[in-house]
């Protein structure tokens, strides 16, 4: 569905939620398509349809998402990526940029942020660390920046949605209390140190 600037944005508590799709996933298993059908996100196949300087959930970023990113998310939006991990590496992995500036490569101009350690609850990657579906990634980001109820509402159309919050409750709460990206990383690292000691 092409993006229409005149169209009223679908929002979660005034936050514009976008998903950029490369059409690489099975449509029947694609959480982004499911969210789009429920009217919870704007799904686009053209990167130019997404506002510049929006916060993009990039699994190869060097900076963790935190409450510090809320102003940019609130004004420009939050962007999830719907593609395979191989495709994500092709899109993001080869390009270096400063962590504190929007990424600039052609029409790409986003604030890249990585999500901290969380477990997937979706049936394809259940229990695997950091292998979140697009829906889980967006919900995690909303939770971390303080929109906890909206995060739950985003996943309420999935049978496994509430289980995602159960699996990750302790971490999500801790991340949402953090005041900076550095604090988020410390919480993650302390948790992993304890988990694997």
Res. 41 pLDDT band, cuts 50 70 90: very high
pTM across the whole model:
0.84
Query: Taking 70 as the threshold, does the pLDDT of residue 48 lie above it?
Result: yes
In a domain? residue 1:
no
**Cα separation, 65 vs 118, whole angstroms:** 13
Long-range contacts, 165-173 (Cβ 8 Å, 24+): 166/121, 167/119, 167/121, 167/127, 168/118, 168/119, 168/121, 168/140, 171/116, 171/117, 171/118, 172/118, 172/140, 172/143, 172/144
Task: Return mean pLDDT, the chain.
Answer: 84
Has residue 16 been placed in a domain? Answer: yes
Average pLDDT score over residue span 21-27: 74
Confidence of residue 13 (pLDDT cuts 50, 70, 90): low
Would you state the pLDDT for residue 56? 94
Q: Who contacts 133 (Cβ-Cβ below 8 Å, separation ≥6)?
A: 31, 120, 122, 124, 125
Task: Flag whether 5 is in a domain.
Answer: no
Side-chain-side CA neighbours of 173 within 13 Å: the count stands at: 6
> Per the domain annotation, does 102 fall within a domain?
yes
**Rounded Cα–Cα distance for residues 186 and 197 (Å):** 16
66: in domain: yes
Tens of pLDDT along 101-116?
444 454 458 999 999 9
Structural domain boundaries, residue 133: 11-196
Kindly state whether residue 87 falls inside one of the protein's structural domains.
yes
Residue 141 falls inside a structural domain:
yes
Residues 111, 142, 119, 137, Cα dihedral to 10°: -50
With respect to residue 6, please indicate whether it lies within any of the assigned structural domains.
Answer: no
Number of compact structural domains in the chain: 1
> What average pLDDT does this structure show over 3-30?
65
């Amino acid at each position: 569905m092409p993006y229409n600037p005149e169209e009223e944005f679908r929002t979660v508590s005034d936050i514009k939620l976008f998903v950029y799709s490369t059409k690489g996933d099975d449509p029947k298993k694609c959480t982004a398509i499911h969210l789009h059908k429920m009217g919870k996100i704007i799904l686009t196949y053209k990167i130019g349809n997404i506002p510049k300087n929006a916060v993009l959930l990039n699994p190869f970023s060097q900076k963790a998402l935190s409450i510090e990113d809320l102003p940019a998310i609130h004004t420009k939006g939050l962007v999830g990526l719907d593609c395979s991990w191989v495709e994500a590496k092709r899109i993001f992995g080869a390009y270096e940029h400063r962590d504190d500036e929007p990424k600039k490569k052609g029409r790409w101009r986003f604030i890249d942020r990585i999500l901290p350690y969380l477990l997937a609850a979706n049936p394809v990657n259940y229990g695997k660390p950091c292998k979140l579906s697009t829906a889980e990634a967006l919900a995690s980001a909303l939770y971390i920046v303080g929109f906890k109820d909206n995060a739950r509402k985003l996943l309420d159309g999935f049978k496994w949605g509430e289980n995602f919050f159960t699996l990750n409750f302790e971490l999500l709460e801790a991340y949402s209390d953090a005041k900076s990206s550095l604090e988020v990383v410390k919480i993650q690292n302390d948790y992993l140190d304890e988990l694997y000691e």
